[in-house]
Chains A and B, each alone.
Chain A
Amino acid sequence: MHTSSLPQAAGPSIAIVGSGPSGCYLAHFLRKRWTDSDIVIFDRLSLPYGLVRYGVAPDHTGTKAVTRQFDRLFERDGVRFVGKTEIGRDITMHQLRAAFDVVVLATGLPADRALGIPGERGADDGLTGVYGSGRVTRLINGHPEESADEVHFGSRVTIVGHGNVAIDLVRLLLTSPEELRSHGVAEDVVGRIMAGPVRHIDVVGRSCAVQAKFDTNMIRELSKIPNVQFFAADRELHTPVGDGQDGTRRDAVAALIAESVPASPADADADVARTVRFHFGWAPDRLTGTGSVDATVFRRADGSVGSLELASDSVLTAIGFSEAVDASLRRSDHESADSHLDSGRLAAGLYCVGWLRRGPHGTIPANRTDAKSVADVVGAAFAAGEFPGGKPGFGGLPERNRV
């Protein structure tokens, strides 16, 4: 009766590598197409859902609720989840492709993009106190490979980047310990955030206020945090809105600033007042300090003369994501002249989806759309006989990988 996509019988066996949103949505669309196919999602971690579990802020429960939808894949729709299994290490790509008709890489882009400026750790000479946003959100979300031991936020934090991830960090660093705990944030992590505690945050982006990347609802959400006053320099905030540009993000920041009130003398005395300052149009230039960072220096992004130096107990970078240098699976290793990244096809029977396919842009819904289109491509290729069916699926893997 579901006229939108009629399921066909006797589909291919399918392995999806990575259980983040792209991998799970892909399994959903492929299951709709082939009700009886062997569909297995592998993840190197023991728990599924990737960035939904470890990247989405813990207080965004509405966004995280998409995992309830994915639960149904495993509970009801006969998709198998195989955790603690890293493809390229526990199972080779060769073994996987020998067992499954279709292999789809959905491993995402987990590494924090580096600032690429002097003072940043890269070689061994970098300063401590600089953390990627991915690392921080994993820590806050209880990722098994992150530890709070070496993390010191201090009381003055500089956040580089003006996307939604940067705004998540602003909000989380100013959230009360009680509320953090209520969202399941571990005690040692709450302790690190409160150790300063965080008193002042500078949020610095390259774009002008009109072109900032964050969403307006993220800015509005900041107005609900108690005892915070927001600032920005008038000349940075009131840049002209160009033709065809939309000033709503700039206006949301202006409203946030206008509505935030100075701390009452009592709050100031009690030392509970916090401040956040937005800076627009600044590109990071260098980090300074001895051993650990103590200042961040920015230059004007438009190339004009001028610099901005901010005292920083810690620096959080939120300027995007890339492939991990030590990734056991790389897209480039599987690309050839025969690949067609626009459709997700790497080779006959081998595909990629989500951020790994198209780069670190777009939220969960964008990856749903992506998964839908790749599922259509896989369906069309199978119908056209581009790869044969008949490989055994999960049962064709070495026995030690099937426990």
Chain B
Amino acid sequence: MSKTVILYGTESGNAELVAEDLAAEMAGDHEVSVYDMSDFDVADFDPAVFVVVVCSTHGDGELPGGAKPLFEALMSERPDLAGITYAMFGLGDSSYETYSQGSEIIDRAFTELGAERVGVYGRHNASDGSLPNDDALEWMRALFEFA
């Protein structure tokens, strides 16, 4: 059974709910655990564990508050993430020019440190008031068909 960790970076809680729904969907076939990015230690990245990131966007294209501690730790400790594979699902609101840019900040940090993104970059646009959960589940099913 493959191991997966789902990391969420959230501001208003939507990314947390997405992460929980993804975990529930995966639970049968994977050993999966869910972490708020603010509770995840950079030392815990493990090449044997696939990483799914669900991250929202705050304000003017910034990281959500919950993602900041991990991002700052990545930037200051610069761990070698070579061998880590991950998938990215970004949340945002296209009424703002900076739609979905919060997740891109994490994506750039992961790539810079040697991790490899697989699958399609998932995105959900909240401007129509819809919840991201269904889009995210669909994205995940496609992701694991590919993987």
| Partner-B contacts on A (CB < 8 A) | 1-4, 25, 28, 61-62, 64-66, 68-69, 72, 215-217, 220-221, 364-365, 368-369
Q: Which residues of chain B come closer than 8 Å to A28, judged between CB atoms?
A: 13
Within 8 A of A (CB), among B47-64: 58-60, 64
Q: Which of A61, A217, A220, A365 contacts B64 (CB 8 A)?
A: A365
Q: With A65-B131, A217-B96, A368-B12 given, is the CB distance from A1 to B60 under 8 Å?
A: no
Whether the Cβ atoms of B12 and A66 lie closer than 8 Å is yes
Whether the Cβ atoms of A1 and B131 lie closer than 8 Å is no
Whether the Cβ atoms of A4 and B59 lie closer than 8 Å is no
Q: With A3-B34, A216-B60 given, is the CB distance from A64 to B129 under 8 Å?
A: yes
Pick from B32, B39, B64, B126 the residue with the most CB of A within 10 Å.
Answer: B126
Whether the Cβ atoms of B129 and A61 lie closer than 8 Å is yes
Q: Which of A3, A69, A369 contacts B65 (CB 8 A)?
A: A369
Whether the Cβ atoms of B129 and A215 lie closer than 8 Å is no
Whether the Cβ atoms of B93 and A62 lie closer than 8 Å is yes
Whether the Cβ atoms of B14 and A2 lie closer than 8 Å is no
Q: With A215-B59, A368-B13, A369-B65 given, is the CB distance from A1 to B98 under 8 Å?
A: no
Determine the distance from Cα of A23 to Cα of B39 in the docked complex, in whole angstroms.
24
Determine the distance from Cα of A1 to Cα of B23 in the docked complex, in whole angstroms.
9
Mask, B93-114, CB within 8 Å of A = 1, is 1011110000000000000000
Q: Which of B20, B64, B96, B129 contacts A2 (CB 8 A)?
A: B20
Given contacts A1-B32, A369-B65, 5 further A-B contacts (CB under 8 A): A2-B34, A69-B13, A215-B60, A216-B60, A364-B12
Which residue of chain B has its CB nearest to the CB of A248? B60
Determine the distance from Cα of A211 to Cα of B79 in the docked complex, in whole angstroms.
38
Interface flag for B139 (CB, 8 Å): no
Q: Which residues of chain A come closer than 8 Å to B64, judged between CB atoms?
A: 365
Q: Which residues of chain A come closer than 8 Å to B76, judged between CB atoms?
A: none
Q: Which residues of chain B come closer than 8 Å to A4, judged between CB atoms?
A: 34-36, 39
Whether the Cβ atoms of B13 and A25 lie closer than 8 Å is yes
Whether the Cβ atoms of A365 and B33 lie closer than 8 Å is no
Task: Give A61 Cβ to nearest chain B Cβ, in Å.
Answer: 4
Q: Which residues of chain A come closer than 8 Å to B14, judged between CB atoms?
A: 65-66, 69
Interface flag for B46 (CB, 8 Å): no
Whether the Cβ atoms of B33 and A2 lie closer than 8 Å is yes
Determine the distance from Cα of A59 to Cα of B95 in the docked complex, in whole angstroms.
10
> What are 22 pairs between A and B in contact, CB < 8 Å?
A1-B27, A1-B32, A1-B33, A2-B23, A4-B34, A4-B36, A4-B39, A28-B13, A62-B93, A65-B131, A66-B13, A69-B13, A69-B14, A69-B17, A69-B131, A72-B17, A215-B60, A216-B60, A217-B60, A364-B12, A365-B58, A368-B12
Whether the Cβ atoms of A68 and B131 lie closer than 8 Å is yes
Q: Which residues of chain B come closer than 8 Å to A61, judged between CB atoms?
A: 126-129
Q: Which residues of chain B come closer than 8 Å to A3, judged between CB atoms?
A: 33-35
Interface flag for B2 (CB, 8 Å): no
Q: Which residues of chain B come closer than 8 Å to A2, judged between CB atoms?
A: 20, 23, 33-34
Which residue of chain A has its CB nearest to the CB of B91? A62
Q: With A4-B34, A62-B93, A365-B12 given, is the CB distance from A217 to B126 under 8 Å?
A: no
Q: Which residues of chain A come closer than 8 Å to B128, judged between CB atoms?
A: 61
Determine the distance from Cα of A394 to Cα of B55 in the docked complex, in whole angstroms.
37
Mask, B129-142, CB within 8 Å of A = 1, is 11100000000000
Mask, B78-95, CB within 8 Å of A = 1, is 000000000000000101
Q: Which residues of chain A come closer than 8 Å to B32, judged between CB atoms?
A: 1
Whether the Cβ atoms of A217 and B34 lie closer than 8 Å is no
Determine the distance from Cα of A267 to Cα of B35 in the docked complex, in whole angstroms.
55
Determine the distance from Cα of A25 to Cα of B23 in the docked complex, in whole angstroms.
21
Q: Which residues of chain A come closer than 8 Å to B97, judged between CB atoms?
A: 220
Determine the distance from Cα of A65 to Cα of B36 in the docked complex, in whole angstroms.
21
Interface flag for B116 (CB, 8 Å): no
Task: Give B96 Cβ to nearest chain A Cβ, in Å.
Answer: 5
Task: Give B38 Cβ to nearest chain A Cβ, in Å.
Answer: 10
Determine the distance from Cα of A136 to Cα of B117 in the docked complex, in whole angstroms.
47
Determine the distance from Cα of A365 to Cα of B15 in the docked complex, in whole angstroms.
12
Determine the distance from Cα of A69 to Cα of B20 in the docked complex, in whole angstroms.
12
Task: Give A367 Cβ to nearest chain B Cβ, in Å.
Answer: 9
Task: Give A3 Cβ to nearest chain B Cβ, in Å.
Answer: 5
Determine the distance from Cα of A369 to Cα of B13 in the docked complex, in whole angstroms.
10
Whether the Cβ atoms of A220 and B11 lie closer than 8 Å is no
Which residue of chain B has its CB nearest to the CB of A366? B65
Q: Which residues of chain A come closer than 8 Å to B131, judged between CB atoms?
A: 65, 68-69
Determine the distance from Cα of A61 to Cα of B35 in the docked complex, in whole angstroms.
28
Q: Which residues of chain A come closer than 8 Å to B34, judged between CB atoms?
A: 1-4
Determine the distance from Cα of A61 to Cα of B130 in the docked complex, in whole angstroms.
9
Q: Which residues of chain A come closer than 8 Å to B20, judged between CB atoms?
A: 2
Whether the Cβ atoms of A65 and B13 lie closer than 8 Å is no
Determine the distance from Cα of A132 to Cα of B131 in the docked complex, in whole angstroms.
32
Task: Give A149 Cβ to nearest chain B Cβ, in Å.
Answer: 30
Q: Which residues of chain A come closer than 8 Å to B12, judged between CB atoms?
A: 66, 69, 364-365, 368
